[in-house]
Amino acid sequence: MRRKPSRLQIWRNRLVTSRAATSWRNFWHETNFPMAIGLFFACAGVTYLWWRLDPQDLSNLWPEMGGMTLDVFFILIVFALFEHRRGKRQDIARQREVIDDYKRWDHPEAHLRIAGAIRRLNRLGEFALDMAGARLTKFEFAHSGIQSIEGSTFFDGRWGEKFGDSTVKMTEVSFDHLNCRKVIFAPYNPLAGLGDLAGIFAHLVDCSFMDSDLSDAKFNGAKLQWSEIPPETHVEFFDNDDGSSGCGQVSYGPFWHANLQGTSFKGCQFKNADFRDAENILDADFTSAKGLEDAFFDSDEIRAAVLAQAGGGTGT
């Protein structure tokens, strides 16, 4: 089992991948800001050097050199800040429009366009996506170069709308190695009060979350199902030629090394679920979840704790 990162490593990783750090790196590399800063200090240095070599009243020196220094500061630096902000907002709006145009079209071409738009948003420091109404099949976020969808929303809780269906259906979608912190896959089931007659508004089939960060994510009222019954073990034992025995991992569960700290599965419907090797599973919320009787866990103690929590809820 891999070693958990220290608090310092967690803090450092979050700082490096933070929205502010990403925005600053993009601003530094995509504008003339570095040259403007250099020119500003060059002008200021020339002004100071001139004054040191030929001391004179500042009222004579400032109108020329000082005025030029201020021009550089306000025109090349301050204006660059506002212009970059305006251009960034326009780029973000365009990429969000691309996602909105193609997210309901479950086709490889649409997947390529969506992936490209998400990558560009990530480079702009935007990670929260509006994926309400998405239809995705065999889509891989990490394989498409996407690192984070933190704060995104899939089913947004709206139903019965005349235009813009917000229900979500995802089949064989890979969220592996992805930052899914605070992602809302489903906030609740609007018709949960109808019991077994309630419809499914967020349906995830054969999806994978291996090595993903699902901390504080919400699957409330969603249906998560896998087509095949999980194997009894993910480890295969074998005998070596020298008579010794060994073992090796031959398969992985969908939540292998997924961080479930604060993840909410309230009112979820599970089928053929496998939570083996999931991290912080006892810190997840399984209140009123169904279908966990046949699920696989790392130990009987974890199974008992999860089932006790699922059976003690009153609804979503």
CB atoms within 10 A of CB 67: 11
Lowest-confidence pick of 53-67, 74-88, 253-267: 53-67
Q: Are 261 and 216 in contact (CB under 8 A)?
A: yes
Note the pLDDT of residue 41: 78
Kindly list the distances between the CA atom of residue 226 and the CA atoms of 93, 171, 197, 267, 273, in Å, as whole numbers in the listed order: 36, 10, 21, 17, 7
Residue 3: pLDDT over 60: no
Q: Are 202 and 185 in contact (CB under 8 A)?
A: yes
Count CA atoms within 13 Å of residue 167 on its CB side. 15
Mean pLDDT, residues 115-130: 93
Q: Are 266 and 221 in contact (CB under 8 A)?
A: yes
Q: Are 166 and 132 in contact (CB under 8 A)?
A: yes
Note the pLDDT of residue 161: 64
CB atoms within 10 A of CB 256: 21
Residue 1: pLDDT over 50: no
Q: Are 270 and 289 in contact (CB under 8 A)?
A: yes
Note the pLDDT of residue 155: 94
Q: How confident is the model at residue 131 (pLDDT cuts 50, 70, 90)?
A: very high
Average pLDDT of the residues of the chain? 84
Per-residue pLDDT of 28-38, as tens digits, reads 666 666 777 77
Mean pLDDT, residues 214-237: 92
**CA 287 from centre of chain:** 24
Per-residue pLDDT of 181-210, as tens digits, reads 999 999 998 887 676 666 789 999 999 999
Question: Which one of 50-64, 83-97, 105-119 scores highest in mean pLDDT?
Answer: 105-119
Lowest-confidence pick of 26-40, 127-141, 150-164: 26-40
Kindly list the distances between the CA atom of residue 278 and the CA atoms of 1, 10, 177, 219, 311, in Å, as whole numbers in the listed order: 11, 19, 13, 16, 21
Q: What are φ and ψ of residue 225, in 5° steps?
A: -135, 150
pTM of the full structure: 0.75
SS3 content of the chain, % helix, strand, coil (to 5): 40, 15, 45
Note the pLDDT of residue 98: 96
Higher pLDDT, 27 or 112: 112
Q: How confident is the model at residue 216 (pLDDT cuts 50, 70, 90)?
A: very high
Residue 313: pLDDT over 50: no
Q: Are 258 and 209 in contact (CB under 8 A)?
A: yes
Joined tokens for residue 281: 């599973």
Question: Across-strand partners of 274?
Answer: 296
Q: Are 174 and 207 in contact (CB under 8 A)?
A: yes
Note the pLDDT of residue 314: 44
User: CA angle at residue 23 from 183 to 111, to 5 degrees?
Assistant: 50
